Structure 1
Amino acid sequence: MSASCLSSINNCLNKPDFSRLLLRLSLGGLLLFHGWHKMMSGIGPIQGMLAAHGMPAFIGYGVYVGEVVAPILIILGVLCRLSALMVIGTMLVAWLLAGIGNTFHVDAVGAWAIESMAFYTLMSLVLLFQGAGRYSLAKNDAWR
């Protein structure tokens, strides 16, 4: 392939704002399933884990912020960096409470045992540094 052909392909596919939209929809949409599950089944198990570690059970309500509010804001493109930080914090707490013992393990099908936590954390880090992009409901850059 010639350099001009490669340049044409690269120019055609260089869509950073569209890729940010895909990132937001993927991260927010997939994480929202976890939040929906907690809204339907409750957070009793999380509160139990917190209490077992000597922390107040009411802190468990923070999962609604990290798995419902933040994903919705991320999907909409509003306060994305702040929401990404909330997701990172939620994943850190989830790892400390439920995943730390599995950090160096694989599951029955060969996946990293904390793969989903790592996935959400890394996607949030990318969003933290990239921001929402142009395709956002927030018209003011400060709110993206």
Structure 2
Amino acid sequence: MLAKLNTTFTRVTDHPDFGKLLLRLTFGILILFHGVAKMENGVGWIAKMLQAAGLPGFIAYGAYIGEVIAPVLIILGIFTRPAALVMAFNILVAVLLVVAGKFFTVTEVGAWGLEGEALYFFGGLVIMFLGSGRYSVMKNEALR
């Protein structure tokens, strides 16, 4: 009986392309919020951190690529794999610049100090490995 119930449930819920769309929309929209904040408030504070680390400040403008352009591409399903890699790299740079000190911390509720950042980073990698799936604005597979 359980096997039949599981088989029925699997048949009803077996929609990997919809799952890929939901994953893309979730991560793309959530990262895009960060990008909108950068567009409203600028990236000057990031440039200062980069310069303090001995790096050129203009690299801060890469946040627009990783938090605005890449998420939009991911949402639309265009160049999804490279865009997801850019998004994951962007999160990695943000962690190294801003919150690396939380690596060995645990919050009051038992969460890892970098839990949210890890979720975005690995989410980007998952999207990169899965690709856009069927639901994309591009029909040409080479552009998805």
Give the Å deviation of 1:93.
0.7
CA distance in 2, matches of 1:118, 1:13: 27
Structure 1 segments, 4+ long, off by >4 Å, are none
Unmatched 5+ residue regions in structure 2?
none
Instruction: Indicate yes or no: 2:98 matched with 1:63.
Output: no
Unmatched 5+ residue regions in structure 1?
none
Matched residues, number: 144
Deviations 1:47-101, CA, capped at 9 Å, x for gaps: 0110000000000000000000000000001111000110111011111111211
**Alignment identity in percent?**
49
Partner of 1:141: 141
Segment drifting more, 104-113 vs 4-13: 104-113
Partner of 1:86: 86
CA distance in 2, matches of 1:97, 1:38: 16
CA distance in 2, matches of 1:9, 1:131: 25
Give the Å deviation of 1:108.
4.5
CA distance in 2, matches of 1:10, 1:48: 51
Partner of 1:11: 11
Give the Å deviation of 1:35.
0.3
Q: TM-score, normalised by structure 1?
A: 0.95
CA distance in 2, matches of 1:137, 1:103: 38
* Partner SS for 1:25: helix
CA distance in 2, matches of 1:71, 1:106: 29
Matched residue type, 2:25: L
